[in-house]
Homo-oligomer: A and B are copies of this chain.
Amino acid sequence: MHIQATGNVYRAKAVTGIKTVTDILMFGAGGHAAAVSDVIRDIEDFNISGVIDDSPSLQGKCLFGSTVIGGRQQLYMNGLDTMAIFLGIGDNLTRARIARSLGGREFPVLVHPTAHIGTNVSLGEGTVVMPRAIIENGARVGAHCIINNGAVVGHGSVVGDYSHVSGNAVLAGGVNLGERCLIGIGGCVLPNVAIGQDSIVSAGSVANRSAPERHYIMSPGSRIFRRFEK
């Protein structure tokens, strides 16, 4: 299910395309889930009813103002079996695997109020647009993507399902990312470049030409020098 976002309608509240969601389960208890919980706090339409995590040591703990109510099997209990879920998982492959195993549930789209969404933008289910991210006119973002803090998705670009555009990374106009791609923090993709599925543009690197699937695009690494004698 893709959701068509037009203008500002995403900026002050979450949109599911179906109905207003008030209760949601957060799947995951790590740092990315914590950051997403702040997005939910600022959207104000949502309430995190509980956190789902398979780790036994976390059960019953309170995270992001909610309790870890159990692992995956808990999702099929009465009262939880139809509730909307958000996958607060940063790793693309893990997020994709879990999303597929939970087919049939509702995955809302979360857009932070400070994000800028152009016209004719589509956002797939389960995707989060983090604070200050920008998605320009005509871009299409797939399902279960992360458009992270301050990232830019240029006009007419396409982001495949389960991909992650990290903090302050930039896709210029007309970029095409396959599924499960990772653009590291500060990474850049030049206009009209296509990146195959499961590829990675490493942090701070610039993809100036297209790359096949399952490849790395890497700039020369940094080095560490002693600053001065002690």
Contact = CB atoms under 8 A, between A and B. Distances in A.
Interface in A174-188: 174, 184-188
B204 A206 contact: yes
A212 to B, nearest CB: 8
A31 B190 contact: no
A82 interface: no
Given A34-B155, A168-B152, A186 B206 contact: yes
A97 interface: no
Contacts of A198: 227
A214 B185 contact: no
B137 A38 contact: yes
B214 A188 contact: no
Contact of A132 (B31, B132, B138): B132
Interface stretch (A13-21, A70-78, A100-108, A112-120): A112-120
Contact of A208 (B64, B200, B203): B203
Contact of A224 (B112, B152, B211): B211
Instruction: Please report whether the interface of chain A is mostly helix, strand, loop or mixed according to DSSP.
Output: loop
A193 B196 CA distance: 29
Contacts of A137: 31, 34-35, 37-38, 64
B217 A188 contact: no
A170 to B, nearest CB: 4
Bin chain A's interface residue count.
35 or more
Contacts of A23: none
A200 B205 CA distance: 18
Contact of A204 (B154, B219, B225, B230): B219
Contact of A150 (B150, B172, B201, B203): B150
A227 B186 CA distance: 20
A186 B166 CA distance: 13
A149 interface: yes
Contact of A119 (B41, B166, B226): B41
B38 A119 contact: yes
B200 A227 contact: yes
Given A206-B204, A222-B218, A170 B168 contact: yes
* Nearest 6 interchain pairs by C-beta: A31-B155, A204-B206, A34-B137, A116-B131, A31-B173, A170-B185
